[in-house]
Amino acid sequence: MNERRRIDLLVLSDIHLGYRGCRAEELLAYLKTIEPARVVLNGDIIDIWQFSKSFWPESHLKVLRRLLKFAQRGTPVHYVTGNHDEALRRYSPFLLGNVELVDRLELVIDGRKHWFLHGDAFDALIATPQWLQWIGTWSYDGVSIVSAWLNRFRTWFGMPRISPAKYFKENIASAARHIARFEEVCARMAAERGCAAVVCGHIHAANKRLYQVPQGDTTVDILYLNSGDWVESCTALEYADGHWSVVHVSDLQLIHEHDDTVAVSAPLAGVMAEIMT
Rounded to an integer, the average pLDDT of 191-214 is 96
- pLDDT value, residue 164: 56
CA separation for the pair 124, 126 (Å, rounded): 6
Domain ranges of the chain: 5-276
Enumerate residues 6+ apart whose C-beta is below 8 A from 276: 96
pLDDT in tens, 10-24: 999 999 999 988 999
Q: How confident is the model at residue 251 (pLDDT cuts 50, 70, 90)?
A: confident
Enumerate residues 6+ apart whose C-beta is below 8 A from 260: none
φ, ψ at 105 (rounded to 5°)? -145, 140
CA separation for the pair 65, 78 (Å, rounded): 15
Which amino acid, residue 214? Answer: P
- pLDDT value, residue 250: 81
CA separation for the pair 231, 213 (Å, rounded): 31
SS3 12: strand
Q: How confident is the model at residue 262 (pLDDT cuts 50, 70, 90)?
A: very low
pTM confidence score: 0.81
Q: How confident is the model at residue 263 (pLDDT cuts 50, 70, 90)?
A: very low
CA separation for the pair 274, 266 (Å, rounded): 11
| Helix axes 164-171 and 173-192, enclosed angle (nearest 10) | 80
φ, ψ at 63 (rounded to 5°)? -65, -45
CA separation for the pair 237, 8 (Å, rounded): 11
- pLDDT value, residue 3: 84
- pLDDT value, residue 52: 83
Q: How confident is the model at residue 138 (pLDDT cuts 50, 70, 90)?
A: very low
For residues 172, 164, 66 and 202, what is the CA-based torsion angle, rounded to 10 degrees? 20
Which DSSP helix (H) or strand (E) runs through 194? none
- pLDDT value, residue 167: 56
Q: Sign (positive/negative) of CA torsion 99, 46, 64, 232? A: negative
Homologous superfamily of the 5-276 domain (CATH)? Metallo-dependent phosphatases (3.60.21.10)
Strands, E assignment, 118-165: none
